[in-house]
A = this chain, B = another copy of it.
């Protein structure tokens, strides 16, 4: 959510020499996405996002993201393509970083979705999974079930308890429960794995884009629905569950992808897993981000509360 690497107008102009997309007329650093540097780059022909990859994205993963987005785009899904230059190259070097020029999509992220929007988002997720049925490439989920225990081990126990007394034991028991009961035979797909409201662009009540695919990976497609459910169907702090939103999401998804009985039965545990994934990554960032830093730390407890909700109430699908 910051600009880590400065890109000069001259560097952007040099990059554009490889493309036939017009001449530079504006370049603004934007605060968006995971820990990359992002610029809104405007030419006299079109607008683009110029992304420079910093710490969190491994350039070795970029071909996977590129292939997934190209596949989705060919299938008619509204996702931002990586733009290829005259030589067909989409991976560039800008200001000492690996960088991509990416299609700009209009639309805004909503903060307070209603049932109608949630239905459209569920549909968009289902359409995306359908479109990916022929997509052959794979990438293990680096933040999937197997990653949670080592991740938890890296969270300082004192700091964890200081944030919320009893949290260590709560996570440990949840982890054990999930490791014991996690389903491993559900239909898999390339999934988004991070479809928060931030990552969905909306215009006039229609989804105009799914963005920020840098957590995309191969995993159970119902897990993607569970992540999306946990991200959309609660108040920001997780204290309030909105069943209208949650139901609309699942219904919209179901109109595009028929969930099997096994998937329906697994959804509650998948939702608990989604909560633990975000609880753990937020906890780690919380502990390891200096309090004075300008980067905003997201509250881990917002996902502890969601976990409490799913543990107590399940999730009927």
Question: Which residues of A line the B interface, CB within 8 A?
Answer: 1-3, 8-10, 12, 23-32, 40, 42, 106-112, 202-204, 290, 292-295
14 residue pairs from A and B, CB less than 8 Å apart: A1-B3, A2-B2, A9-B108, A10-B111, A25-B107, A25-B108, A26-B106, A28-B28, A28-B40, A29-B32, A30-B40, A290-B290, A292-B293, A293-B294
Shortest beta-carbon distance from A4 to chain B in Å: 8
Residues of B within 8 A of A203 (CB): 25
* Binding site secondary structure of chain A: loop
B111:A8 contact, CB within 8 angstroms: yes
Instruction: Please give the count of copies of this chain that the complex contains.
Output: 2
B31:A2 contact, CB within 8 angstroms: yes
A107:B26 contact, CB within 8 angstroms: yes
Closest to A4 in B: B294
Shortest beta-carbon distance from A40 to chain B in Å: 6
Shortest beta-carbon distance from A257 to chain B in Å: 28
Q: How far is the CA of A10 from the CA of B110 in the complex (A)?
A: 7
B25:A106 contact, CB within 8 angstroms: yes
Shortest beta-carbon distance from A7 to chain B in Å: 10
Residues of B within 8 A of A42 (CB): 106
Shortest beta-carbon distance from A152 to chain B in Å: 26
